Amino acid sequence: MAAEQTSSVVLVAVDDTVLAQLVRAATTDAGADEVTPPLTAGRGWTSDRVAWLRDFHRVRRTGLAGPAGEATWAVVADEWVVGSVRLKHTDEHGVLEMGIWLTRSARGRGVGRAALTAALRRAASLGASGVRADTTGSNAGALVVLRRLGFTLMPADDVQNIRALILLDPEGNCCMRSDI
């Protein structure tokens, strides 16, 4: 299993074994709306949402060069799957979009920062010149992590959302910030 180490947090490829662990983590320790789009009525986990989650990761196994133009990895902390990160091509040349979700029990422990740092390093190694992330203005935890990583935060097209952008070191040394 390919992995990238960042302290006690690693990003691992989502094969069938890891996918089963990812689905279990999501359905037992994260809200369905935190992980999937609102596919069904209500906010809870349904068989449709679980199927969507499985399909989402299976389609992205081919990586950025695949038909989805997106790659995902499971976030593993202390040997437990606790979430997922993704990188996706955007319409902006050289800029990738990044996303993450974590289980409730993994939040507030530095796991998100370590996982996003690993994803930024992965983006730099893939030749990206920048990475953007979109979140809501009310997602205080995400905003703190993005600021600490050196992202520039700006209002998105609608006033409720925030777009964050970080430029990557053109030499491939990850990010413009030296403390990452």
Q: Does residue 178 lie within any of the structural domains?
A: no
Q: What is the pTM of this model?
A: 0.89
- Give domain status of residue 172, yes or no: no
Structure tokens at 72: 């995902």
In Å, the largest CA–CA distance within the chain is 47
For residue 178, give every residue at least 6 positions away whose Cβ sits within 8 Å of its Cβ, in sequence order, or none: none
Does 110 score more than 90 pLDDT?
yes
The mean-pLDDT minimum among 18-22, 116-120, 159-163 falls in 159-163
Please indicate, yes or no, if residue 177 is contained in any of the structural domains.
no
Quick one: pLDDT at residue 159? 72
Q: What's the structural domain count of the chain?
A: 1
Number of helices (H), then strands (E), in the chain: 5, 8
- Does some domain include residue 180? no
24 occurs within a structural domain: yes
pLDDT digits (tens, 9 = 90+) for 39-69: 888 889 999 999 999 999 999 999 999 999 9
Residue 83: inside a domain: yes
Range of the domain at 112: 3-167
pLDDT-derived band at 1, boundaries 50, 70, 90: very low
Does residue 175 lie within any of the structural domains?
no
Q: How confident is the model at residue 22 (pLDDT cuts 50, 70, 90)?
A: very high
In a domain, 130, yes or no: yes
CATH of the domain at 22: 3.40.630.30
Euclidean distance between CA atoms 136 and 52, whole angstroms = 23
